[in-house]
Structure 1
Amino acid sequence: MRVWFNRWFSTAYHLITLMRAGAPDGTVFVGSSPNPHMLYRLVCDEWEEEPALPPGEEYAAFALRFCREHAIDVFFPRHALTELARHRDAFRAQGTILATGAAEMMALLDEKAAAYEFFAARMPALVPPYRVAHSYEEFVAAYEELRPLCARVCYKLTQDEGARTFRVIDDRIAEAGAVWSKPGTKLTWEMAQKIMRGYDFSVPFLLMPYLDGREISADCMETAAGPIVIPRFKTDHRYSEVCFDADIMALCTEVMQHLQIDVPINIQLRSDGTRYFLLEVNPRMSGGLQLSCLASGINVPAIALSRLVGTELPWAYPEHGGVRRVANLETPQLLEG
């Protein structure tokens, strides 16, 4: 069996290592990226430097050709995920299993406003107040509508990955004497207006209250034995806590039922201090999945690969649930306690 990872995050190093541990002997892992120095190259059996193509039709044609020429059996895409999902039948016709959900669902989740609209119709309590801005005037109006509802407003593009455009509007960072403030992704309302006046809004912005409670990154997957749900509570930059909270697991299970995606997904939730709201759903293995696997003992990448080729690997939650802390390191370590 030959498995391809295209243009992933560096944490694919851990995903491939986990997948290899449960894969049949002789499985070959092929990696590719325009960057020849990607960390996951170290755990691939074969490596190809791919062209720096944008995620469109040209890249889909490249990927189909790559799978033919390298006899790829299973393809786990990250780059161009939505575009590639539209070609699932073409990959299958030439003998490659594409590890994505249906194209329509991939496109829905790729557009954050559309995803919120989808869940607002099915799980309204899960969706925070939000506005979508298609122009500078709509951006200002959205901020003015949301500001009375919360301490701070945040925004991001409706099409974003890795929170690259996420910002929090916080005028406190410019107060006299705020020398200990760490702006990071924060900016003042004046700065936000200046930036937005120069933006063409070809991709709209989504605005919502900034939720300052705990964040959960839940790694999930449907299996024949039932859904896997591993809620990973983010605490600080040093470690996370995996806690098998029954309410959170039930919430994530309901989300999965609406999506009907048969590959690993990541559900991100955040609290306002009283209840949890949906941030987004990533329809792929998360960058921190190895942390969930380490803390739970459930090898999600290996289970996913086996399911795609028709074999169900056994799995079980830890006998003693509790809270399992795991260090947020590039090479994770399980902590005591």
Structure 2
Amino acid sequence: MIWFLEGQSSQRDILIGAREALPANVKIFASHRKDRPEITSQADVSFQEPLDNEERIDWVIATALEHGIKVILAGRNRSRYEEARGRFEAAGLQLVTGGMSMDTFLNVDDKSRFTAEAERAGLACIPAVTVNNAQELAAAYELLSCQGEACIKPVFGIYGQGFWRFKADVDPFRCLENPDEREIDFDTYLSIYKSRAERAPMLVMPYLPGNECSVDMVCEAGQPVAFVGRRKQGDHQTFERESAAVELALKAAAHFKCDGLVNVQTRDDHNGVPHLLEINPRYSGGIGYTRATGINLAGIFAVRRLGLPEPAGQWVDNVRVKPITVAVIAPS
């Protein structure tokens, strides 16, 4: 039996993929802190998790033992679960967090540290300058803007939150009129930045104009065993398995010792050469789209962790998908 703890918005897709691959007699468990029946109803058994982080870990271990669950995939709060790995192992439970130790999380969650380690390992990445105050921010921008457009993002963060592209000719009001474009002139950004004495550390880096590739993969002890790359092409997403971007992502996942369902993002420079953006030691929001290629990553993860035969997958070329919003019935 396998348990998928609260994860990203795609937890529903993960459960559907696992159910497709697992024998009917293997129970799937799922849980969430909130009332999310549209997600948890895809499992055979569902729970609502405690809100307190420490209480949750105790509850997960006790509940797993009570129900004979063997494998537990952490979604949110992965590093907290990783810190408690010894407790899970002592209870005979197989915990999957996205990494093999705290080193993975320390190296990838801190994007400044991630950049330094990637450079040390010879993995192509976007060079960055860490800034902690307005003076450092101005100096970093002056240095990098001489080489082309620059951008900024938080040292810690997900979903692209806090990312802005500096454009010299953009209307200062544009960041309020159309914030989704993530474009702002540097003087306006610096003025807002100065409005508070202390800010969280940020990374200033060159802006790469090329396309992004998001590589979803199943890793076991640092070894990728299944993977699919995704690119946004206008309103659609396309898929790839043999490309420089995918190759770079696989090398990065191996170097940072990823373990579980993880996601690596790259971006191409003006010559089409991919550079690492970040590693997410969790499944992505778009992982469900990859099933259209004939590769069921969630299913492959589930059966391999339970020691069952891997489902046959047949790669489908030239697939293009378009995400849409649909309503589903949420069981009461």
Residue 13 (structure 1) aligned with residue 8 (structure 2): no
CA contact (8 A) 1:30 1:45 kept: yes
Q: Amino acid of the residue matched to residue 72 of structure 2?
A: F
Q: 1:87 to 1:131 in 2, by over 3 A?
A: same
Q: CA deviation at 1:277?
A: 1.0
Instruction: Extract unaligned runs of 5+ from structure 2.
Output: 327-332
Q: CA deviation at 1:234?
A: 1.5
1:262-281 equivalent positions in 2, closer than 5 A: 262-274=259-271, 275-281=273-279
Task: Measure the CA separation in 2 of the matches of 1:158 and 1:60.
Answer: 27
SS of equivalent residue, structure 2 residue 298: helix
1:309 to 302, 306, 312: 306
Please provide the CA RMSD for this pair.
2.8
Paired residue for 2:131? 133
Q: 1:38 to 1:163 in 2, by over 3 A?
A: farther
1:242-281 equivalent positions in 2, closer than 5 A: 242-274=239-271, 275-281=273-279
Task: Measure the CA separation in 1 of the matches of 2:278 and 2:87.
Answer: 29
Paired residue for 2:143? 145
Task: Measure the CA separation in 2 of the matches of 1:48 and 1:199.
Answer: 44
Task: Measure the CA separation in 1 of the matches of 2:253 and 2:227.
Answer: 10
Task: Measure the CA separation in 2 of the matches of 1:193 and 1:70.
Answer: 54
Paired residue for 2:209? 212
Task: Measure the CA separation in 1 of the matches of 2:312 and 2:135.
Answer: 52
Residue 190 (structure 1) aligned with residue 191 (structure 2): no
Q: Amino acid of the residue matched to residue 292 of structure 2?
A: L
Paired residue for 1:334? none
CA contact (8 A) 1:243 1:324 kept: no
SS of equivalent residue, structure 1 residue 75: strand
| Cα distance per residue 1:188-215 (max 9 Å; x no partner) | 32332233221623x4211212222111
1:229 to 224, 227, 230: 227
Please, which moves more after superposition, 85-94 or 219-228?
Answer: 219-228
Task: Measure the CA separation in 2 of the matches of 1:175 and 1:107.
Answer: 36
CA contact (8 A) 1:303 1:312 kept: no
Q: CA deviation at 1:65?
A: 4.5
Paired residue for 2:51? 52
| Higher normalized contact order (CA 8 Å, seq sep 6+, divided by chain length) | 2
CA contact (8 A) 2:71 2:93 kept: yes
Q: 1:121 to 1:52 in 2, by over 3 A?
A: same
Paired residue for 2:95? 98
2:170 to 158, 169, 173: 173
1:324 to 319, 322, 332: 319
CA contact (8 A) 2:111 2:155 kept: yes
Paired residue for 2:112? 113
Paired residue for 1:74? 71
Q: CA deviation at 1:288?
A: 0.9
Task: Measure the CA separation in 1 of the matches of 2:259 and 2:309.
Answer: 13
Residue 155 (structure 1) aligned with residue 152 (structure 2): yes
Task: Measure the CA separation in 2 of the matches of 1:188 and 1:66.
Answer: 52
| Cα distance per residue 1:46-91 (max 9 Å; x no partner) | 333334346xx56544544454455542221121111211222211
Task: Measure the CA separation in 2 of the matches of 1:210 and 1:311.
Answer: 45
Q: CA deviation at 1:292?
A: 1.6
Task: Measure the CA separation in 2 of the matches of 1:87 and 1:223.
Answer: 19
Q: 1:172 to 1:234 in 2, by over 3 A?
A: same
| Cα distance per residue 1:212-264 (max 9 Å; x no partner) | 2111011123479973231211112x211112334333323322331333322
Residue 22 (structure 1) aligned with residue 21 (structure 2): yes
